Structure 1
Amino acid sequence: MRLSATLFTPKQPVKAAVMIGPATGIKRQFYSAFATYLSEQGFGVITFDNRGIGGSVYGSVKQSDASLVTWGEQDMPAVLETLKIHFPNVPYFLVGHSAGGQLLGLMYNVHDLTAFCNFGSSSGSLRNMRKSYLLKAHFFMNFYIPVSNLLFGHTKSQWVGMGEPLPKKVARQWQKWCNGKGYVKTGFGSDINQHHYDTIQIPSKWLLANDDDIANIHNVHDMISVFPNMEAQVEELDPQAHNVKEIGHMKFFSRKCQHLWPKVTDYFNQYV
Structure 2
Amino acid sequence: MKAEELFISAKDGFTLSLSYFPAENTDKKQVIAIHSAVGVRKSFYSPLAKFLAGNGYHVFTLDYRGIGDSGNPYQVEEGMHVWGSLDLAALHEFIFQKFPNSKLHILGHSGGGWLTGFLPPPQNLSSMVFLCVGNGYYNSFPFPQNIKIYVSWKFLIPYTVKKHGVLPTGKSYYGLPLPKNVALGWAEYGLKKDFIEDFSLNPRAKYLENYKVSALSYSFSDDSVLPESTVKSMLAKFAGLKITEKHIRPEEIEEKEIGHFGFLRPGHKKKLWPDLLEWLEKQ
d(CA) in 2 for partners of 1:78 and 1:176? 25
Q: Letter of the aligned partner of 1:6 in structure 2?
A: S
Q: Letter of the aligned partner of 2:188 in structure 1?
A: K
CA separation of 1:210 and 1:181: change in aligned 2, threshold 3 A: farther
d(CA) in 2 for partners of 1:267 and 1:70? 31
Deviation sequence 1:106-152 (CA, Å, 0-9, x none): 22343431110010101033223344645653454333311121112
Deviation sequence 1:178-228 (CA, Å, 0-9, x none): 233343123x45232563222221111111111112322211121122222
Deviation sequence 1:75-107 (CA, Å, 0-9, x none): 111111222333342211000001111111222
Q: Letter of the aligned partner of 1:137 in structure 2?
A: I
d(CA) in 1 for partners of 2:176 and 2:201? 27
Correspondence 1:143-222 to 2 at 5 A: 143-158=155-170, 161=173, 163-186=175-198, 188-192=199-203, 195-222=206-233
- 8 A Cα contact 2:150 2:191, kept in partner: no
CA separation of 1:51 and 1:18: change in aligned 2, threshold 3 A: same
Identity in percent = 26
Q: CA RMSD in A?
A: 2.0
Three-state SS of the structure 1 residue aligned to 2:15 is coil
Q: TM-score scaled to structure 1, two decimals? A: 0.90
Are 1:53 and 2:64 matched, yes or no?
A: no
Structure whose residues are more often helix by fraction: 1
- 8 A Cα contact 1:19 1:95, kept in partner: yes
Report how many aligned residue pairs link the two structures.
268
Deviation sequence 1:5-47 (CA, Å, 0-9, x none): 1100122124210000000000000000000000011000001
Of residues 96, 110, 115 in structure 2, which corresponds to 1:84?
96
> Structure 2: which 5+ residue stretches go unaligned?
1-13
Deviation sequence 1:36-80 (CA, Å, 0-9, x none): 0000110000011001111001xx422212322101111111111
Greater relative contact order (Cα 8 A, min sep 6): structure 1 or 2?
1
Partner of 2:264: 253
1:256 to partner: Cα distance: 2.0
d(CA) in 1 for partners of 2:267 and 2:182? 30
Deviation sequence 1:223-243 (CA, Å, 0-9, x none): 122222222121101111112
- 8 A Cα contact 1:158 1:165, kept in partner: no
